Amino acid sequence: MSTPSVAALVTAIRDQMSTAISPALADDGPKKLLAVIDHLLQTIEVRSEHEIDWMVGHIADVVELAERFVAGEAAPEPVAAALQRYHEGQRPGLTASVVTANFALAAEVLSTMLDATAADNGEIAVAAKELMTRDVQRGVEIVGDDFELVPP
């Protein structure tokens, strides 16, 4: 591999685990542990390829919705305050640590919008719920809907 991506490296590790290590294990306990490790590596493989893009898109969608909510002058103070904290705290850059920190700030904004619109079925409430549902669905897509941290 002359220019391996993180996903390619993880794929190579998973391949070595399944072809060299797994056949050498006789006990079920280590085999189950190896299966968990393989699943976690598979999750890393998917996340490394798409996570920054997904997070940046989600952040943009949350901030845009919050700005519309606040501009409409119907947003309660906690939403405006969370949006202000986002704008004051967000940092430029695309490193995982920067995007993750910005994502956490945006998550607070979304959470306050969900709280503020919990008893509401208006446009902002529906859009905020859709953003949350989409984010949860992405998480399920990454780890798989059959994931078990401790296999049976």
For residue 66, being part of any structural domain is answered with: yes
Q: Tell me what pLDDT residue 143 has.
A: 65
In angstroms, rounded to a whole number, what is the distance separating the alpha carbons of residues 76 and 114? 11
For residue 87, being part of any structural domain is answered with: yes
Per the model's pLDDT, the better-predicted residue between 135 and 2 turns out to be 135
Per the model's pLDDT, the better-predicted residue between 82 and 75 turns out to be 82
Domain count, the chain: 1
DSSP string, 57-85: HHHHHHHHHHHHHHHTT-S-HHHHHHHHH
For residue 1, being part of any structural domain is answered with: no
Residue 42, token pair as written in the block: 């598979």
In angstroms, rounded to a whole number, what is the distance separating the alpha carbons of residues 53 and 103? 11
In angstroms, rounded to a whole number, what is the distance separating the alpha carbons of residues 11 and 45? 7
Provide the domain limits for residue 57. Answer: 6-143
In angstroms, rounded to a whole number, what is the distance separating the alpha carbons of residues 51 and 70? 28
Q: Tell me what pLDDT residue 149 has.
A: 53
Residue 43, token pair as written in the block: 């999750």
